Amino acid sequence: MKNQIKTIAFDADDTLWQNEEYFREAELKFSELVAAKNPDQVIQSLFEIEMKNLPMYGYGIKGFMLCMIETLHQLYPENLSSKLIEGAFKIGHQLLQKPVILLDGIEETLSHLFGKYRLVMATKGDLLDQERKLEKSGLAKYFHHIEIMSDKKPANYQKLIKHLDCKPENFLMVGNSLKSDILPVLAINGLAVEVPYHTTWQHEIHDEPIDHPNFYSVRSMDQIIHLL
């Protein structure tokens, strides 16, 4: 594996830095905002609307804000107050100002791999927000290329590796999501390393075991150094 890999791509949210906790906190605040409704019902309604709108809005905080507004309209079809709408916008604005907290072992791992491999950041999400987080993280200096992807399907990865002039068998993807970071890369005969995160967005959950010669799983980011 060590001699085979030339390019290593890293997911960002919940791989390089903390993210999902912020959205879970936002969902809780949203359910508290509409306290007259059942909290579980509110969060489930929000998720269903997110899934409906994902092809139009993509991933990120701005789409999440629009989905909160639509959820309010669904929950209060005739008497939606401006106070609730203002509350939803406030939750979204707070998300956009969250600190960037690196996960354990990230900078040490990137520093060790820098210069030995071509390092890439490949992540989904809102362009401006991901650029903000990257700048605040201090990690930009390690990456040869930054790719903010609209989605993470096999075709998206094929486009990326073509742009990088890299063959699938020389490409390694590192991420926390089996659904977005691992399975699509294996589908194009690339290599993939899962670094599990303690919480996962419902949309990203994949429960079936993966049996593939190009798949690896480590408990922490610094174990990638030993794997390579």
Give 135-151 pLDDT, tens digit per residue.
999 999 999 999 999 89
Please, what is the average pLDDT of the chain? 92
Q: Are residues 135 and 169 in the same domain?
A: yes
**With the CA atoms of 11, 17, 21 and 22 taken in that order, what torsion angle do they form, in degrees rounded to the nearest 10?**
-100
φ, ψ for residue 146 (rounded to 5)? -115, 125
Give 78-131 pLDDT, tens digit per residue.
888 999 999 999 999 999 999 999 999 999 999 999 999 999 999 998 899 999
Pairing of strands 7-10, 215-217: unpaired
Q: How many domains does the chain have?
A: 2
CATH number at residue 148: 3.40.50.1000
Structural domain of 57: 20-95
Higher pLDDT, 198 or 188: 188
Q: Could you tell me if residue 1 is inside a domain?
A: no
The enclosing H or E element of 185 equals helix 183-187
Q: Give yes or no for a contact between 11 and 197, defined as CB atoms under 8 angstroms apart.
A: no
Ramachandran category for residue 124: left, alpha or beta (phi over 0 → left; psi -120 to 50 → alpha): beta
Q: Are residues 223 and 126 in the same domain?
A: yes
Q: Are residues 133 and 165 in the same domain?
A: yes
Q: Are residues 140 and 38 in the same domain?
A: no
Q: Are residues 72 and 26 in the same domain?
A: yes
Q: Are residues 64 and 147 in the same domain?
A: no
Question: Which residues on adjacent β-strands are paired with residue 149?
Answer: 124
Q: Are residues 117 and 209 in the same domain?
A: yes
Is residue 2 over pLDDT 80? no
The domain boundary residue, chosen from 95, 112, 131: 95
The enclosing H or E element of 215 equals strand 215-217
Whole-model pTM: value is 0.91
The domain boundary residue, chosen from 95, 124, 156: 95
> What pLDDT score does 79 carry?
87
Residue (of 79, 78, 77, 70) closest to 30 by Cα position: 70
Q: Could you tell me if residue 154 is inside a domain?
A: yes
pLDDT band at 201 (very low <50, low <70, confident <90, very high): low
Distance CA 159, CA 161 (A): 6
Please, what is the Cα angle at 199 between 14 and 49, to 5 degrees? Answer: 90
